[in-house]
Amino acid sequence: MKTQTPIMNDAHPISSIPEQDLQAHERFEDELILHLERDQFVAETSRPVPRAALSPRATTGLWALRIFVVLVSLMVIYTFIDQLH
């Protein structure tokens, strides 16, 4: 019987941990969180998340989106107040 070895590709390395083992590990962590006391749960979930490193293009896009949302909100508020009269 011939044994096949996995082909290693530089672009897509083969993971050494099977997918179902990863899912079992995640389920185990979720079960641990469910059994924490309230203060332990709050302490675990209130840890700050580090700021994401974004490209300048993404940062500019997010600022443009913020400005757009503020302008549209102002237009909606103006229209609402105008329609009250």
* Structural domain count, the chain: 2
Q: What is the pLDDT of residues 35-74, one digit of tens each?
A: 777 787 777 777 888 888 999 999 999 999 999 999 999 9
pLDDT of residue 28: 62
Q: Is 71 contained in some domain? A: yes
Count of residues in the chain: 85
Compute the distance between CA of residue 38 and CA of residue 52 in angstroms, rounded to an integer. Answer: 28
Compute the distance between CA of residue 59 and CA of residue 66 in angstroms, rounded to an integer. Answer: 11
Q: Is 77 contained in some domain? A: yes
Q: Is 22 contained in some domain? A: yes
Compute the distance between CA of residue 64 and CA of residue 56 in angstroms, rounded to an integer. Answer: 12
**pTM assigned to the model:** 0.46
Compute the distance between CA of residue 85 and CA of residue 83 in angstroms, rounded to an integer. Answer: 5
What is the span of the domain harbouring residue 62?
56-85
pLDDT of residue 1: 45
Compute the CA torsion angle 50, 54, 56, 60 (nearest 10 deg): -90
